[in-house]
Structure 1
Amino acid sequence: MSKFSEISSKDNNYLKFVDKLQTSAKARSEYNLFVLEGLRICRDAVDCGLSVEYTFVSSSFYERTPEIAESFFEVSKLNYVVKDSLFLKVCDTKSPQGIIVVAQKPSLNSKITENGRYVALDSVQDTANLGAIARTAEALGINGIIINEGCCDPYSPKSLRSSMGTVLRMPILFADDLPRYLNDNNLTAVSFVLDDNAVPIDSIQYLQRDVIVIGNEANGVSTAVKDASRLLATIPMAGKVQSLNAASAAAIAIYDYTKKARL
């Protein structure tokens, strides 16, 4: 049997630390750690080879499935069985499954591959949008997502849930200056904008080094990125609809991009 400690006090420092990581992007960045909640995504983290620092299971989870808890204890540095009422207080979900893992964040320093297909996010702020875009990107064969300084944390609880674990598998690359990053990597931007003068999506002819760019939910693609783009593209809309949310626009753009790339 693997070693574990029991937690029965609300003042436990480890529980306070988990709560801090759950709620603070700054803390996740400072400690380079993030929280995964639920059996499936915790297993995904282990399968992806992430370094697991802590495993927390509720008392009832351990009583029901000791063999599953023990399997996580084997790969985790520190292990805790937590009183049910206390476990609930550090969970981000309304109906927790009884297991939380704290792991090292994946590196954001992946390299661009020669024939890879990429999506760049220009200051996308909604974690649910980022997670949904990542999930769509993986499903349609995108090789990685490029994020800039203005983007939300891809390893927030909401992003993890929305992506269904995709952000653990999908290379996420960080660009402090998106136009410069694209230029340095010999990539060209096809930026999706709300502009009647932009090229309709049906008319786009993609080049091998093109990257789809999706902009901020409120302000769209920044002026700097638009000025550096090879092409400004738009998704024509019927009726009285004037815009799509970032995740919906990205899904349409990525589908068009990958479909034409296969032709």
Structure 2
Amino acid sequence: MRSITSRDNPAVKRLHGLATSARDRRSVGQTLLDGAHLVRAALDADWPLRELVVSDQGLAREEVAALVRRCEKLAQLHLTDALFAHVSPVDTPSGVLAVIDLPESAPLEVFDDSLLVLDGVQDAGNLGTILRTAAAAGLRDVLLTAGCAQAWSPRVLRAGMGGHFCLRIHEQVEVAQVLKNYAGQILATGLGAGARIVYDCDLRGPVAWLFGAEGRGLSAEVAALARGMVVIPMPGAVESLNVGAAAAICLFEQVRQRRTSGPA
């Protein structure tokens, strides 16, 4: 393990760039995993790590020390707590980071199972939460339009808590082209005419779920792709749900129906 004490060290500058700059991440084709849980999830999924980075405080914790032992054949850096805070992508440093390569773009295909389409979801926490939910619900593919946050940014990865490693995430997708021959239902949430309560819909077959940005919802282009609209009943005194909550309700209603009755 190599110890570094200077902020001027090229490795520190590189890590700081990965933590703070989407341009730097794209330029070098790498990103950061933050926290012991996420690093362990990557290892458990056999996701290749490039480098492990730990702090003094991190090394004092057994869960981080265990990761150091598990990654003994991997390049490892030891930073002072101050330097680690400088390269940390979050305000409260976790004590352990890992460097991974950005994955190559998964090939687009004719999809025949359920999938998730996210249009302009820019909040890193929401995007990561939705990706984690999609993975938990058993989806394989998630399509992101150009307006979404970078799926492999450290903050989205942290919110995803390992969900990234069991999904095929397609970024910068022209959704209209991809879905033009989709054989299943294409559903959006909303209050338009003809909207059906989601619990009354038959969701046992393939569904392409469309969810939009936190404020404006779906763009007109993506909304026009919907072949049906569903509404989530809300008897309480609120007007709408967070996009992450709405996605979870819809995806797990589909899980429930499939468990109860089997595929259509």
> What TM-score do you get using the length of structure 2 for normalisation?
0.86
Q: CA–CA distance in 1 between the matches of 2:112 and 2:222?
A: 22
Aligned to 1:179: 176
Q: Which residue of 1 aligns with 2:4?
A: 7
**Which of 24, 27, 51 is equivalent to 1:27?**
24
1:113-158 per-residue CA deviation (whole Å, 9 max, x = no partner) reads 8653211111111111111112222222222322121111122222
Equivalent residue runs for 1:1-263 within 5 Å: 4-62=1-59, 68-74=67-73, 76=74, 78-110=75-107, 116-174=113-171, 176-184=173-181, 186=183, 188-195=185-192, 197-206=194-203, 208-262=205-259, 263=261
Residues 95 and 218 (structure 1 numbering): CA distance in 2 closer, same or farther, change over 3 Å? closer
SS of structure 2 residue aligned to 1:109? coil
State the 1:209 CA deviation. Answer: 3.3
Query: Aligned residue pairs: how many?
Result: 258
Distance (Å, rounded) in 2 between the aligned partners of 1:215 and 1:60: 40
Q: Which runs of 5+ in 1 are unaligned?
A: none
Letter in 1 for 2:134: A
CA contact (8 A) 1:188 1:230 kept: yes
RMSD: 2.5
Taking the aligned partners of 2:60 and 2:230, their CA distance within structure 1 comes to 55
| Contact 1:144/1:173, CA 8 A, preserved across alignment | yes
Counterpart AA for 1:176:
V
CA distance in 2 between counterparts of 1:169 and 1:115 reads 18
Q: Secondary structure at the match of 1:36?
A: strand
How far residue 35 of structure 1 moved from its aligned partner, in angstroms, is 0.4
Q: In 1, distance between residues paired with 2:22 and 2:193?
A: 37
Answer whether contact 1:226 1:232 (CA < 8 A) is retained: no
Give the TM-score taking structure 1 as reference length.
0.86
- Alpha-carbon deviation of 1:71? 3.0
Residues in 2 aligned to 1:62 and 1:242: alpha-carbon distance in whole angstroms: 47
The Cα of 1:14 is off from its aligned counterpart by 1.4
Distance 1:177 1:187, change over 3 A: farther
Aligned in 2, Cα 1:60/1:229: closer, same or farther, shift over 3 Å?
closer
Deviation of 1:245 (Å): 1.0
Secondary structure of the residue that 1:52 maps to in structure 2?
A: coil
Alpha-carbon distance change, 240 to 98 in structure 1, aligned in 2, over 3 angstroms: closer
